[in-house]
Each structure stands twice: as structure tokens, then as C-alpha cells.
Amino acid sequence: MNKLFYNTVAAVSCLLAASFAGNAYQIPAHAEGALSPACKAAYLCDYATGTKVYAKEETKRLPIASMCKIMTLLLSFEAVESGNLSYDEKITVSENAAGMGGSQVFLDSGLSYTAEELMKTVAVCSANDSCVALAERIAGSEAGFVAKMNERAARLGAENTLFSNCTGLPKDPQYSCAKDVALMLRAMISHEKYFEFSKIWLEEFSHPDGRTTTITNTNKLIRSYNGCDGGKTGFTNEAGFCLAATAKRGETRLISVVIGAENSKQRFSDVAGMLDYCFNTYENKIILAANEALDERAEVRGGKCKSVAVAAKKTLAPFCKRGEEGEYTVSFELNKLRAPVSKGQEAGIAILYRDGVEIAKTPLVAMEDVAKKNWWDALRETAHEWQ
């Protein structure tokens, strides 16, 4: 690989950013003093880097009620991504699914709904019946799906999570923690399709038999908080009032989690307060923007062109405290490619450093196709060299 270096100095100072898997960082002392959510547990972090800003009893094992549906939705999106499910596939509702109590969209057994319709009702109105219908389709049974939920939680690094069902209805043993809920939400909202559902406030849901059910978003911050475009509520007598929410302003997206507030108003107030603090104190500073051609080009062997333009696949934007200074360095490691090259093909890697310490990286991708050189191209090239 050729190693090229590109230096950028920015007037910001950054908390060390994590990879998407996330690393542990010290909670800023001023965050501890400024925030005091009235709940059993809380967690506040940056979406892009996973940097922790505030935590209260973040690893304490607690019931989380319907927030467990974050994992149900994550597995549903990943089933579509893997080809195991399609959004327009019709799913026939079982008697077991139709019989779920609690929050529901009143599915009738024997009727068929698209996977997209079911996922939408889970995201908007926390429909238990839709959760079970999806679980049975994806894994053959709710028990099989719960096994997948626990396996996925382990791969996410959610060390204090155990699921017993896909709805969050009371069933022992079942628990999670504020930090793990943030991990799950962070993974789930990486699927852009989710935001088509989460921004819905009120909608008439049509059943195949002609009935309609009004679905209303359980996350009131969608309407009342600037930038909030997703999240999941939860409530049982055991869990108390819970909320995991995400909001975005400019280039900064945050995740805030509350478990065990005394009432619904308090959970929304606590989450909004943490988000306000973070938006006012931190920002994501773009050092390298995605999809913008770099000055460097990747070498292409055997192609109609000898090189190809490359760009970062993901934006490198460290999570930084406003008003402080720091120096950033980006190094580019470019692969030597062999034609044919396809647009979007990985062509190297960009690594972001702060003060000499690696804090983030992203693949570099080709910005265009490069066809393989044929014999006529080789002949013309040879002729040109003899001129």
C-alpha cells in the first residue's frame, strides 16, 4: 500500500472518539454536576462515535418494558438486509400473535400484512401483536427469535441484557441496562428505513378486512423537541416509565436513555434535559466528509485508466467540546487496484488521529467504474509510447 498523509488543524478539542463498536471514556465532571435526571438509570452518548457524556447506574440490570422492541426492530431490519425478509412480503398472523395483550394494533389471526406494515406499527405505537408476528416469521417461533435477540445483544457488547420475549411484557428473567439500551438503539437507527416510521405522529392503519386502527406515536418528543426523530418508550408497573430517544441538530446526533422515571412527563423531561445539555456543550466537527473526491487517487493496474478517484465512505467527525483546540491528522492508505474496478469498491482506508492517537477510520471507495484494458487499448498505448 502507498501511505499518504494529509494534515488538518481544527480549532476544536475532542473527547477521544470510539469506533462504532464503542470504547469506554471518562464522564466529564461538569456533566455529572449539570445533570440530575430523576430516574433509576440514565445514559447519554454521541451516536457517531459512541462517546459517553453522562451516565447514572448505567450497567444496573433493570426491566426495560417495551424498549426491548428496539432489538425486535433491529433484527427485523437485519433480516431484510440479509435477504431473509422483504418489506413487501405478506405475513399471515397466527392466533398466538393476535392474542397478545398490552399495546397492540388489533391484528386478526389468519389475515396477512406486509412486513413493512408490521414494522411500522412496532415503531410507532409499540404493537405487541406485530412484534410476535414478525418474530414468528423471522425465526419460526417467538422462542427462536428471543434466542436471536440474546445472541445479537452479546455481539453488540450488551453485557447486562437478557430477553425472555420480543415485546417487553413482564416475564422473568428479563432485564437490560441504560448503556445496553443505548447500544441497541445506536445499532437500530443505523437503518435509514427506520426514520420513515419513527417520524409518523398519527396515522390510520388499514387492515385487510377493511377495518382501520388509529396509530399514535408514543414518543411525544417527536413533536415537542427540536431535532428528535426517533426513539422508543416503555412502561410496566415493574419497569416504571422508560424512554430511549435520538435527536439530530446539524452534524450532531445524540442518544439519551432513561429507565424507571416516576411518571411519563418526567421521562420526557429527563431525556430532553440531557439532550439540551449535550447539544449546548458538544458538537461533531467534520474533518473528512464522505463522498467528496480526494486529491489522492488509487492506482489501477490493467485498466483503461491508470488511476481512479476515491472518497471516504463515511464522514470522519470527532465528537468535540465546543470552544477548545486540538490538532487532527488524517492518513490515507491506498490499495493498488486491478481492473475492472466498480464504483463503490473499497480502495483503501482513511485513519483519523488526534494528537497522534488513532480515534476513527473509514474505508475509501472508488468513485467511478474502471473497465479492464483490452488488446486494442494495449495496442494504442504501445503505439503512443513509440511516437
**Catalytic residue annotation:** 66, 69, 126
- The cell numbers describing 155, all together, are 455481539
Is residue 93 within 8 A of residue 136, CB to CB? The reply is: no
* DSSP, residue by residue, 324-351: --EEEEEEEEE--EESSB-TT-EEEEEE
β-sheet bridge partners, residue 56 = 42
- The cell numbers describing 301, all together, are 493496474
Rounded Cα distance between 237 and 197, Å, is 27
What 3 state SS string does 209-273 have?
A: CCCEEEEECCCCHHHHCCCEEEEEEEEECCCEEEEEEEEEECCEEEEEEEEEECCHHHHHHHHHH
Rounded Cα distance between 377 and 370, Å, is 13
Is residue 353 within 8 A of residue 328, CB to CB? The reply is: yes
Is residue 344 within 8 A of residue 278, CB to CB? The reply is: no
> What does the chain come to in residues?
387
Rounded Cα distance between 246 and 116, Å, is 22
- The cell numbers describing 297, all together, are 487517487
**Helix (H), strand (E) at residue 225:** none
Is residue 168 within 8 A of residue 66, CB to CB? The reply is: yes
First to last CA, the chain: 33
Give one word for 248, left, alpha or beta, with left for phi > 0 and alpha for psi -120 to 50.
beta
Contacts of 192 (CB under 8 A, 6+ apart): none
- Number of other CB atoms surrounding residue 124 within 10 Å: 24
- Number of other CB atoms surrounding residue 137 within 10 Å: 22
Q: What's the gap between Cα 386 and its chain centre?
A: 56
Phi, psi of 322 (to 5 degrees): -65, 140
Is residue 228 within 8 A of residue 245, CB to CB? The reply is: yes
Amino acid identity of 164? S
